[in-house]
């Protein structure tokens, strides 16, 4: 690993190889429940050289790989603990019991293929070597929930033969539509009325859906605040015109910065001010929760307007937030507005 950057080598030592690294807790937790120890292996130089363009900040490379691997262990553990996946767990135990002789590890972490268009990590099972393969794409990792959902999809079809189709339980709407197709209707109904299917004697009743098991992420799988809140919706903005200065609070720093910079760029200059300052002073404020994270804007009169005690009209702020940033209003009492955006903003 001597050809790796110093920061990457230090992070491998401290955040992967160290007995205190979070990855070891995930390995042991899965082993205690599954009865098999799935040990991850990474060819660090190969992986780094393949994806380094995605990690211009070398300090994020090893933590990101670690978070992705820990997330996979979490999804495996959730699935094993979920009674709805009992058959899948039995199949997993069968294939693990048939593992051919060889190295202890059964999870190989490697870069996606050179021609791969994958935008998220993917997991597969290679029966010939008895191992999981986790592919890391040369692309900015998606948010935590997207990674989890992707792993669930991969695990559903993990042991299917090529060309097989994974089946999923029907939801209530699917069951109703299927019943309407397969039930022979002998009744009549007025024109335009929908005829509900009859319950046929001896017909199978809908199977109650099992409760979904969802495990909270571990603290080690969560990105630093500057990254986490940038890619994790829903994003929230709150405009409060009941106070002075008027404030805009938000969880998505780029949204706040764009709004503040727009206000500054087109600021009206106070003609009565010898210093030619803007009528309104717009200031970005650092969060008291996290170092280096901007979470609010304050807007207040600079000079002459403050003497007249004129309130600041928030209308242009509300229009910008909805019309430009794409947030939707979820609450207002006339002086305070709450907006949300469920999209991943870039």
pLDDT confidence of 215, banded at 50, 70, 90?
Answer: low
Structural domain boundaries, residue 309: 225-341
58 within a domain of the structure (yes/no):
yes
250 forms bridges with which residues in the sheet?
237
As given in the structure block, the two tokens for residue 50 are 């393949």
234 within a domain of the structure (yes/no):
yes
d(CA 169, CA 86): 14
90 within a domain of the structure (yes/no):
yes
Number of domains making up the chain? 2
CA distances from 42 to 1, 39, 66, 223, 328 (A): 11, 10, 10, 20, 43
CA distances from 309 to 13, 274, 303 (A): 60, 20, 10
* Shared domain check, 23 and 122: yes
As given in the structure block, the two tokens for residue 105 are 């590890």
Q: Is pTM, for the whole model, over 0.75?
A: no
Share of the chain above pLDDT 90, in %: 47
* Shared domain check, 125 and 239: no
| Mean pLDDT for the stretch of residues 39-68 | 91
* Shared domain check, 13 and 145: yes
196 within a domain of the structure (yes/no):
no
36 within a domain of the structure (yes/no):
yes
Q: For 147, left (φ over 0), alpha (ψ -120 to 50), or beta? A: alpha
As given in the structure block, the two tokens for residue 93 are 């135990």
- Are the beta carbons of 287 and 250 closer than 8 angstroms? no
211 within a domain of the structure (yes/no):
no
Place of tokens 């090893």: 62
303 within a domain of the structure (yes/no):
yes
Place of tokens 């709004």: 259
Query: 113-156: per-residue pLDDT in tens?
Result: 777 778 899 999 887 777 899 999 988 878 777 888 899 999 99
Among the ranges given (25-34, 161-170, 221-230), the one the predictor scored with the smallest mean pLDDT: 161-170
* Shared domain check, 161 and 238: no
d(CA 241, CA 75): 44
Per-chain mean pLDDT for the chain: 81
- Are the beta carbons of 63 and 15 closer than 8 angstroms? yes
Element (H, E) at 99: none
124 forms bridges with which residues in the sheet?
133
What pLDDT, on a 0 to 100 scale, did the predictor assign at position 36?
85
Q: What is the DSSP secondary structure assignment for residue 112, as one 8-state letter?
A: P
> Largest Cα–Cα distance in the chain?
90
* Shared domain check, 159 and 238: no
| Residue where a domain terminates, one of 165, 185, 207 | 165
186 within a domain of the structure (yes/no):
no
* Shared domain check, 154 and 14: yes
Query: 257-289: per-residue pLDDT in tens?
Result: 999 999 999 999 888 878 888 989 999 999 999
């Amino acid at each position: 690993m001597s050809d790796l950057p110093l920061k990457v080598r230090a992070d491998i030592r401290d955040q992967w190889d160290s007995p205190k690294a979070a990855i070891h807790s995930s390995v042991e937790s899965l082993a205690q429940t599954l009865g098999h120890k799935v040990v991850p292996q990474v060819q660090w130089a190969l992986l780094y050289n393949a994806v380094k363009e995605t990690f211009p900040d070398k300090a994020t490379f090893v933590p990101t790989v670690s978070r992705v691997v820990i997330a996979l262990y979490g999804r495996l553990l959730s699935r094993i603990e979920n009674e709805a996946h009992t058959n899948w767990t039995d199949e997993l135990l069968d294939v693990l019991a048939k593992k051919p002789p060889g190295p202890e590890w059964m999870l190989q972490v490697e870069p996606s293929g050179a021609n791969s268009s994958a935008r998220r990590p993917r997991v597969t099972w290679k029966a010939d070597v008895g191992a999981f393969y986790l592919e890391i794409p040369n692309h900015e990792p998606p948010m935590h929930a997207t990674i989890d959902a992707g792993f669930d999809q991969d695990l559903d079809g993990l042991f299917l033969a090529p060309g097989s189709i994974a089946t999923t339980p029907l939801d209530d709407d699917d069951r109703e539509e299927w019943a309407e197709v397969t039930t022979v209707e002998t009744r009549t109904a007025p024109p335009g009325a929908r005829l509900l299917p009859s319950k046929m004697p001896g017909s199978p009743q809908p199977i109650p859906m099992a409760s979904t098991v969802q495990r909270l992420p571990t603290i080690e799988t969560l990105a630093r605040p500057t990254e986490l809140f940038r890619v994790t919706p829903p994003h929230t903005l709150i405009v409060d015109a009941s106070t002075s200065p008027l404030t805009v609070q938000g969880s998505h720093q780029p949204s706040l910065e764009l709004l503040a910079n727009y206000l500054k760029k087109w600021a009206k200059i106070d003609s009565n001010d010898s210093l030619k300052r803007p009528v309104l002073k717009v200031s970005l404020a650092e969060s008291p929760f996290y170092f280096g994270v901007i979470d609010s804007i304050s807007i207040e009169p600079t000079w002459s307007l403050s003497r007249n005690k004129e309130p600041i009209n928030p209308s242009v702020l509300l229009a910008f937030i909805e019309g430009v940033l794409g947030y939707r209003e979820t609450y207002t009492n006339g002086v305070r507005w709450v907006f949300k955006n469920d999209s991943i903003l870039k």
